[in-house]
Amino acid sequence: MHTNQSIKPRIRALATAVPAIILDQADVESLGQRLFAARGATFERMRPVYANAGIDERYSCVDLDWYTQEHSWRERSRLYIENARKLTKQAAGECPEQAGLAPDDIGGIAVVSTTGVATPSLDALLIEDMGLRRDISRLPVFGLGCAGGVIGLNRVAELACGALGKKWLFVVVELCGLTFRRADLSNSNIVATALFGDGAAAMVIDSDTDTGPAIICGGEHTWPGSLDVMGWQMQDDGFGVLFSRDIPDLVRTSFGNALAVFLNNAGISLSDIAEIVPHPGGAKVLTALEETMRLPIGSLDNAREILRQYGNMSAATVFFVLQRSLRNAAGGRRLLSALGPGFTAAFSVLEP
């Protein structure tokens, strides 16, 4: 996506939301020891992942006792829809007022989520919950995983460029905890218990304002032969998480080239970027990003702090980092990045 420089879609409002239940990482580690007792020595070998994840606490729509029980697709889906509705309404409900708009001013709505399935989709539910107009354009997006936030932002920016004056409500919600399956004793599931949290982000985007960061370009790169790096394996009782242990190495060896091609096509150099705003998938991934982009120490502190406070909320997390960046940092161009199933890198460049 390369926007016409005379037409710049902008983020006019940005809000985030998390559930009420806080999970302390030490308590989750103790729970993991019980849940994965059957794996004995393997769990003990992997146990440092809890301490090394760079996470102190996370937010969840269910308490720790829920994770000790078996749950059906039906129950997971009920909890997903119930809690996703709450979080999307909480985050999205703040945005029109932030942007100086009324709900009736919103002409389009796009919702990204990959941790549950809803039909009618979450955008339709949010129309009801917020009382949005009846002729609103709808776009539900599923399957992009952790990259869904940045890719979704790019798609909505393109839509905003193509329909001047239409104001889009863009929402991302992920309830990662609900995907946990007690019977799954895989290494990937152990890692998931150390990383994942729940959260939502929302924003208003349009091309009819001079207020807020402008989305000047975006793009993606999907590597060949990489379908088994990250994703879901559908099981009888829910989503089976798939993680490759090679993701940090893939970042070191392949991310830099994909980023260079994207920036070159956009006519931008890395030196033009004032701040990198990455999806903090994990501490090792952040370290790998610093190494491959040769960033000064402290460059990704905003991402590390969000990871420490909230964990990995999949596609929503990058916007928690962006919100912190916009509050704490000076101006200049920002590069948003994320990695997700495909295996895909997603990029978006913002400027004041």
Amino acid 37: pLDDT: 82
68 belongs to a structural domain: yes
In the Cβ-directed half-sphere of 114, how many Cα atoms lie within 13 Å? 23
* Domain final position from 206, 224, 258: 206
CB environment 19-48: b (16+ within 10 A), e (fewer): beeebebeebbebbeebbeeeeeebeebbe
Amino acid 265: pLDDT: 93
Amino acid 193: pLDDT: 85
The parent domain of residue 152 ranges over: 10-206
Amino acid 173: pLDDT: 98
**Mean pLDDT on 75-93:** 96
Query: 222 and 200, same structural domain?
Result: no
Query: 245 and 123, same structural domain?
Result: no
Query: 338 and 316, same structural domain?
Result: yes
pLDDT at residue 323 tops 80: yes
Residue type at 172 in one-letter notation: V
Query: 172 and 290, same structural domain?
Result: no
pLDDT digits (tens, 9 = 90+) for 54-65: 999 999 999 999
Amino acid 183: pLDDT: 80
Amino acid 1: pLDDT: 54
- The encoded tokens of residue 195 equal 């990383």
Share of the chain above pLDDT 70, in %: 98
Quote the CA–CA distance of 38 and 70 in Å, as a whole number.
16
Residue of 297 and 144 predicted with greater confidence: 144
Query: 292 and 244, same structural domain?
Result: yes
pLDDT digits (tens, 9 = 90+) for 325-343: 999 867 789 999 999 998 8
**CB-neighbour burial class of residue 159 (10 A; exposed 0-12, middle 13-18, buried 19+):** buried
Across all residues in the chain, what is the average pLDDT?
A: 91
Instruction: Identify the band that residue 206 occupies on the pLDDT scale cut at 50, 70 and 90.
Output: very high
Output the CA angle 167-1-156, nearest 5 degrees.
Answer: 25
Amino acid 140: pLDDT: 97
**CB-neighbour burial class of residue 308 (10 A; exposed 0-12, middle 13-18, buried 19+):** middle
Query: 325 and 239, same structural domain?
Result: yes
Convert 38-107 into a string of H (helix), E (strand) and C (coil). Answer: HHCHHHHHHCHHHHHCCCCEEEECCCHHHHHCCCCHHHHHHHHHHHHHHHHHHHHHHHHHHCCCCHHHEE
Instruction: Identify the band that residue 180 occupies on the pLDDT scale cut at 50, 70 and 90.
Output: confident
Give the lowest-confidence range in 2-16, 74-88, 193-207. 2-16
242 belongs to a structural domain: yes
Give the lowest-confidence range in 69-73, 212-216, 245-249, 340-344. 245-249
Amino acid 158: pLDDT: 94
pLDDT at residue 5 tops 80: no
Query: 195 and 57, same structural domain?
Result: yes
Three-class secondary structure of residue 206 per DSSP: strand
Q: What is the dihedral of CA 80, 122, 25, 72, to 10 degrees?
A: 20
Q: Is 176 a catalytic residue?
A: no
183 belongs to a structural domain: yes
Query: 248 and 157, same structural domain?
Result: no
- The encoded tokens of residue 175 equal 């309830």
Query: 198 and 152, same structural domain?
Result: yes
317 belongs to a structural domain: yes
- Whichever domain contains 36, its CATH number is 3.40.47.10
Query: 115 and 23, same structural domain?
Result: yes
* Domain final position from 172, 206, 240: 206
1 belongs to a structural domain: no
Query: 175 and 95, same structural domain?
Result: yes
Q: What is the dihedral of CA 121, 127, 128, 131, to 10 degrees?
A: 180
* Domain final position from 183, 206, 229: 206
4 belongs to a structural domain: no
Q: How many domains, the chain?
A: 2
Catalytic residue among 61, 146, 176, 217: 146
Instruction: Identify the band that residue 146 occupies on the pLDDT scale cut at 50, 70 and 90.
Output: very high
77 belongs to a structural domain: yes
pLDDT at residue 232 tops 90: no
**Mean pLDDT on 249-277:** 91
307 belongs to a structural domain: yes
Query: 227 and 193, same structural domain?
Result: no
Q: What is the dihedral of CA 71, 77, 83, 89, to 10 degrees?
A: 170
Output the CA angle 186-192-198, nearest 5 degrees.
Answer: 150
